[in-house]
Structure 1
Amino acid sequence: MASERDYFHLSGPLHLTHVKWDNLYHRKSVAASLVQGVYVQEKDRQEQRKGPNALAFPWWAFFHFQLLHTLVDDVDNSIFGAIYEFKPPPSKCNDTLHKTPRYVIAFRGTIKKPDSISRDIELDLQFIRNGLHQTSRSNIAIEAVRNMVASVGGSNLWLAGHSLGSCMTLLAGKDMAKNGILIESFLFNPPYASAPIERIRSKKLKHRLRIASSVVKAGLAIAMKDKKSSSFDSLSAWIPCLFVNPSDYICSEYVGYFEHRRKMEEIGAGSIEKVATQNSVISLMMSAFGKESEPLHLIPSATLAVNFTPSRNFKEAHGIHQWWKPDLCLQSKLYKY
C-alpha cells in the first residue's frame, strides 16, 4: 500500500505555483521534488503501479519537467536515478527563467523495500568503506552525467540526490569538476563517513577531538607521502549546495567539518587542516595496505544550508520531505577553500 508521502497532492510542495528560479528555497524545493520523483518511480515499479495508478508523474510534471530516461541498477534492476528535461509552457515565462536548468539528473537514496534494500545497503556499506566509486551503479551514474554534459554542456545541467543518492551526485560532480566542468548540484542529507562528533554537546570537547583527529590524519598523510593535494585542490571551484539537519547523525558532521577548517585557519593551523581535510582515517588505513580508497564525502568548498527546524525523530531529520516545507528555519553559509 502506498504511503501518504508518495502522493504529491498530499505531501508535495503545492504552494510553489510560481517558481522564482533565482531563489535558493525555490530551487532546492524543485530539486528535492525531482529526487522524490525517483523514489516514487522505484516504489511504483516494486508495487506494480502502472498507468493511472502510478504516483510518480506529478513530482516532476508540477514543475513542467518531462521524464527523459531512468537509470537502472544492473544488479537488482531497480530505478535509482532519472534524467528530466525542463519544458515550461509559454504562459510560465518570467524574468528568472534564465536561471533554470535545461536538464536535471536526480538520484534517490536507500529504499527499505524487498526488491531494492539488499543492493542499497550493500552500496551504503561500500560508501563507508570508501569503495562506492568502484561499484557498477556509480559507473552508470557517472557515465550518464558525462554523456549529458557532452550533449548539452555542464551549465545547462543540475545534479540532485538524497542520502545515498547524494553520494552519486558527489561522485559525478567531482568527476566533472576535476575536468574543469562545474555543475550546479543539490545534495540533501549527504552521508558523512565518520563518527558524528557534531552530536556531542560540549563545544570544547568537540573542538579538542577535531584538533586531535586533524593532527593524526595530517601526520599519517605526511608519513605516507599521500599525494591527494592536487586532485583535491582541483575541486575548489566547484561549490555544491549541501542541505543538512543537525539532528541527522548521518549528515550532521558536515557542520563541524567546514567550521573546523575555518577555526583551524583562525588559530594559525591552516596548513595542518589543509592536509587533514583531504583524508579520512579509513582511507589512510586502506592506502597503507595498498588498497585503493577515495574518501568521497570530503570536499573543499560548499554552500552549507542547515535546517534548524526541530525534528520529531531521526526519520524526519533524514527525510527528503523537509526540504520543501515553507516554514524552514534555514541558515546558509559559503565555505570556499
Structure 2
Amino acid sequence: MPHTIRNIAKALNAEAEGNLDLMVGATAEPAAAGPEDLALAVDPKYADGLAQGAARAAMLWQGADWRALGLEAAIFAPRGRLSMAHLSRMMDPGPAIAPGIHPMTVIDPTATIGDGAAIGPFVTIGAGARIGANARIAPHASIAEGAVIGDDALILNGARIGARVVIGDRFIAHPGATIGGDGFSFVTPEVSGVEEIRHTLGLREEIRKQEWVRIHSLGSVSIGDDVEVGVNSCIDRGTIRDTKVGNGTKIDNLVHLGHNVQVGRDCLLCAMVGVAGSVKIGDRVVLAGQVGVSDNIFIGDDVIAGGGTKILSNAPAGRVLLGYPAVKMDLHIEMQKALRRLPRLAKTVAELQKTVAKDG
C-alpha cells in the first residue's frame, strides 16, 4: 500500500521537506530505486547511488541537501538504522495468513483460541493449549498439549512448540524453530570417561566400555514477552525446572540453548551460538556468531563476546571477550600480535643458537 512522505515522516517521528504528498510504495537501495520507491540513503556514502537510480524521494542523513541530490522530497533520519527499523515494520505486509481458522487444521476440542487469531492449513494444536488474541500461525506449525502462547504472536511455517511451553506476548518463531524439545541428558551406570577426565583434566587410568541411560526432561520452556527465535533454532526444555528466556531477547538462526539454560532480558544471540546446559546468562548480553558457552557457568549482565569466542568459565558483568579460550578483548589482540611475531622470533633464536654454538 502506498504511503505519502508526510505519513511516513509522522510515523517515524522524523522531519521531512519537499513534496510531502508524494506517494511511495516500496523501499529500495539508492542505485536501484525507481520513481515510486523511497531510496534509503541514511549515510553520505550512499549519495552517489542516488544519481544512478530514479528515486524522487529518499530517507537521508541529517543536514543533507536534498535539492542538490535531485530529489522532490526527503525524510531526515535522526538515527538511520533505528528509522529503518520503524520504516521496515511499516512497509512489511507480513505473511499471508487468512483471518480465522482454516478448515484443514486439527485443533483439539479442549484447546482455547483467542479472538482475532488467524490459523493456516495443516496446523495442529494439542489438548489444553491456549492461543492468545490476534495470534497468527502459518501452515505446518504444531502446538503441543498444554502450551500457552500470548497475544499477537507470529508462529511461522513449520515451527514446533512443545508440550507445556509457556510463551509471552508478541512472540515470533521463524520457520523450523523448535521450542521445547527434549534436553540432551544421559548418564552411565558407572563413572564415565567424561566424568573421569573432568576430574583428572585429561588423564585416564583405563578405557572401559560404557552405555548411556537417558534422563527424561520433566521441565519445559518459559519465554517472556517480545522474544524472537530464528530459523531452525532449538530451545530444549529443562530437566526439572524450565529453561527460560527473558523479555525482549532476540535469537538468530541456528542457535541452540541446552536444557536448564537461563537467559536474561534484552539479550542478542547471533547465528550458530551454542549454549550448553545449566548456563545462566544475565541481561543485555550479546553473543556474536559461533560463540560457544560451556555448561554450568555464569555470564554476567552486559557481557559482549565477539564472533567465534569460546567461553569456558564464568564471565563477570560488563566484560568484553574474544578468542578461544575467551579472554578480555584487548588481551586477545595483544596475544594475536605476539603470535604473528613468533616466526620472526623463532628465526632470531635459531640464528643466536648458531652463533653460540660456533663461538663455543
Give the TM-score of the pair, scaled to structure 1.
0.22
The structure number with the bigger radius of gyration is 2
* Bigger relative CO (Cα 8 Å, ≥ 6 apart): 1
